[in-house]
Structure 1
């Protein structure tokens, strides 16, 4: 009620001169119509003249009312236009405020996501003795659309290989699947072609590590295979090759979970199969392949272990000739020894046992007669390790 009264008062103030003019016209009309005209009437003025004057005064009143309504209409439109302008300005301010708030929320989501990503990498580093040397590139490859204005927490892993944006999560998964598929069918490949294939796989494992932007940070151990490429990079251990793949799979699995996907299924560890291990030893010993700059100094620098590896490969190539013999049992014993990096490290620490094992294997080579087809191969091995005889 107070507001209505105030509005009426304001309108009267705004239109006070116009209202005064209307009232003055009305009073003037009343004087003319109520005083002057009767006077003229009684003064024998003709009635038609009185009617004419009445019409003029009525027209003046009507015209004044019409002018008032027109003016009021213009004023109302002006007020409505002003209200619409005020609403537009208010809406623009609100939109700008909402936009700034949305940007702030997106910024907080992005920085929080990046912080969580870095914490995840830090946990992986501590768990596996490795170091992510470019977490920025890894994040950009995994989440290419993320930035201060947008942040997605999930990654679609059913997309085909991304040619435009390589090294994304789909490329990483495809490379891992390719490696594991190749390892699973290695038994179907010709024995003498496996060496080249296993070297390709070793390089693919290095490429996968490179796609994940990390390096292993560990002391060199016996059996470590390294690749010389802009520095020396550990790839896998020849005696425990599955360890590297298991670590790589764990890294990928954690990245999948972080990106809203399920973890990887368990691995069959096909790299531990005998044909893959033999191919790996054959490829690296006695000389590493020239196609890739791979080195295995941790083995070749230890003459006894290097000899046992070559003796194992010799027996593996000719095992059909040693069925039901003592040499077959020696072969199985050495094969079991070379199945684990820890077993190899243990026998190295027991020098007497290591020398005895080397002596047994040398003795087996010495029993091969000159007319045997294996003689030349055995002779080359004995010549290479003459210092152990």
Structure 2
């Protein structure tokens, strides 16, 4: 049994941060009911190309292990259905702008009045309060305002965003952590919590030692490309046939690295003896190392670095990573049969529990695929009533799933 088995999550979020959070909870065994707008569903269903069987690769990547329940929140009957579902849920997740849930009559204080054990979590770009609270928060915007873009990229180039939706994904991770902590607390108190998660807060938390440098010196760190502010050599080097990363993270590795490159004189040079010395002498040392590395192919250096135990890494494409034996052998690439997209592959959850074998996952749902089942099983809504709700534009169901009567 998975850790969150028996926990029901009502997921009113869309696009990336919230859906990634609820997918993480679903991977841990929670029952996730995804509430979607009936006509088009989650915005990310249209993010493409590419598409597979009418579903975007974007949507398919972050919505496994969920049921889709298509409910129109512009209708009072739709809002009432969500309110009734929340009464039977453990967690409610949203990523609307501040004030939206209150306008719908679904704010956390009202929901918890009916279900005191309910945990509610709201993801926003800038938080529930403050002068920026009502601004739309998108990944690119947050990467820029968090200071992350200013320290990312070539020192002589423009600020650069990280190559994945890091602000969205990190926020989803923090939200899932907050929810699991609230679930643990609930076992002691019996009461739910409201969790306010800001994308800006989450990204700013990544500044760690960069913020520490500013707080200590009063100066903002500058872009260093692939170099490290306080470790040298710890960066990307070009071999004769491509690129690799070398991480000489301490004095022990420095001595070993000098053996690898057959330069014992560098190990004996007092200018480079200690980590702080190497940082101060970066301008002299790095070009010497770069010249040496450039004379041989990657395979040569990788073999020698591996044998010596010096941290190193090839620089792989996304495709090479998805096919890497180290990942596939650990079950990090999973396959799921999808009703229209055929076999869907995802990157699996990185969490491993000692009593779990091969995980079984359900594929990302079609829009409204489970509306009938969820409303019938949890709320006792009959087939006839479902047909009436469909005709009123309150819900969307897949006809084959609607019960008789």
Into which bin does the TM-score normalised by the smaller protein fall?
under 0.3
Larger radius of gyration: 1
Q: Structure with the greater relative contact order (CA < 8 A, sep ≥ 6): 1 or 2? A: 2
Greater share of helix: 1
TM-score with structure 1 setting the length: 0.19
